[in-house]
Amino acid sequence: MDRGQPDENTLRAAVALACRAPSVHNSQPWRWELGKHSLHLYADRTRGLPAVDPLGADLVISCGAALHHLRVGLAALGWRAVVHRLPNPGQPDHLAAVEFQAAEPSKAHVALAAAIPRRRTDRRAFSSWAVPDEIVAQLVAAALAEGVEAQEVRGRARDELLMAIAKAATAQEADPAYRDEIREWTGVYPGASAGVPAANIPSGPHQYGNLQMREFAPGELRQTDRLLLSEDAGSLLVLSTSSDDALSRLRAGEATSAVLLEATSAGLACCPLSQPLEVVETRDLVRDQVLGGSTCPQLVIRAGWAGFNADPLPSTPRRPLVDVLTPQERS
């Protein structure tokens, strides 16, 4: 064993944590290759959703979230990840090469890693209690540490964002290919290794006040309080970058993971919202009317307090490690 490198069991444990990352409709569009002294992340385009995500932006953001989960997992296991993003111009799907340096884990690293198995995407209505400004500031700082701006939208900007979400929903629902993909990837049967199970989809209306949530297959998740449907006080944060290329999307995915884990550690429920950025017209609306044309929107994150007596959310399925990790002889 090379005492200057993590052993294979450590890396397998870190990759397993990485694969708990959120992804568009739980498609898990990544694969990992284990080298002699490195670990490599690739986009798996065979798991793309062309109708939902025609530009492949959601796919790369999903991979970025997995990369940050990996970094957090390694840090808790005593290793600092040295990440080389987009290391091979001839292979655009080679998103990252990761090398390792021994490092003593901090309490913060362990706390974030402990949030990974607890994090859930909660699509239910949230409580009417507002998220305190100091917690919002922590979420903004978590994104900024990854080189990504995060802005909580309020007032007129929030109204514009809500209108963009509703317009995107209308446009996508009119597309038969989109409806087919939603049927394929949501409401999946028990035992499936990917997709969103009915047990994680709220039953009944998906309209919370002025917020139109994406319509999935019929769900089985009970809303704890129907009154919340009219007064959801969840915060909406828009993550944005200075440019809109593969590196920006990868960084946005890492920031997404950082914000979601910070929110989970703070006891918040959270849900990524990519729908308004999957349609060119509404993506432009978010850029111009919500962000003032200054930066490129990459993802919206909804965060708030779960409803009183809300049932715990079940874990969504994950692909077996053997399907996503290719081991190599290490010496």
Question: Domain for residue 175, yes or no?
Answer: yes
- Show the domain range for 149: 133-304
Same domain, 102 and 154: no
228 falls in which pLDDT band (50, 70, 90)?
low
Range scoring the smallest mean pLDDT among 217-226, 245-254, 257-266 = 217-226
Same domain, 49 and 164: no
Strands 39-43 and 30-34: antiparallel
Q: Is the pLDDT of residue 140 over 60?
A: yes
Q: What single-letter DSSP state applies at residue 221?
A: B
pLDDT of residue 331: 38
Same domain, 287 and 247: yes
Encode pLDDT of 15-34 as tens digits: 999 999 999 999 999 999 99
Q: What single-letter DSSP state applies at residue 295?
A: S
Same domain, 175 and 299: yes
pLDDT of residue 308: 80
CA gyration radius, the chain? 19
In angstroms, the CA 144 to CA 221 distance is: 34
Same domain, 257 and 223: yes
How far CA 261 is from CA of 16, 90, 113, 225, in Å, comes to 16, 33, 8, 26
Q: Is the pLDDT of residue 329 over 80?
A: no
Write the CATH number for 297: 3.40.109.10
Same domain, 150 and 241: yes
In 196-308, alpha helices (H): 246-265, 280-285
pLDDT of residue 309: 82
- Across the chain, what does the average pLDDT equal? 94
109 falls in which pLDDT band (50, 70, 90)?
very high
Q: Is the pLDDT of residue 229 over 80?
A: no
pLDDT of residue 262: 98
204 falls in which pLDDT band (50, 70, 90)?
confident
Same domain, 24 and 166: no
Q: Is the pLDDT of residue 2 over 70?
A: no
Could you give the number of structural domains in the chain?
Answer: 2
pLDDT of residue 4: 78
Examine the fold and report which residue of 118, 141, 170 is the final residue of a domain before the chain moves on. Answer: 118
Phi, then psi, of 95 in degrees rounded to 5: -85, -30
Encode pLDDT of 282-324 as tens digits: 999 999 999 999 999 999 999 999 988 888 999 999 999 999 9
Examine the fold and report which residue of 86, 118, 150 is the final residue of a domain before the chain moves on. Answer: 118
Q: Is the pLDDT of residue 3 over 60?
A: no
pLDDT of residue 223: 82
Amino acid at 75: A
pTM value is: 0.96
Question: Domain for residue 126, yes or no?
Answer: no
Encode pLDDT of 268-285 as tens digits: 999 999 999 999 999 999
Question: Domain for residue 86, yes or no?
Answer: yes
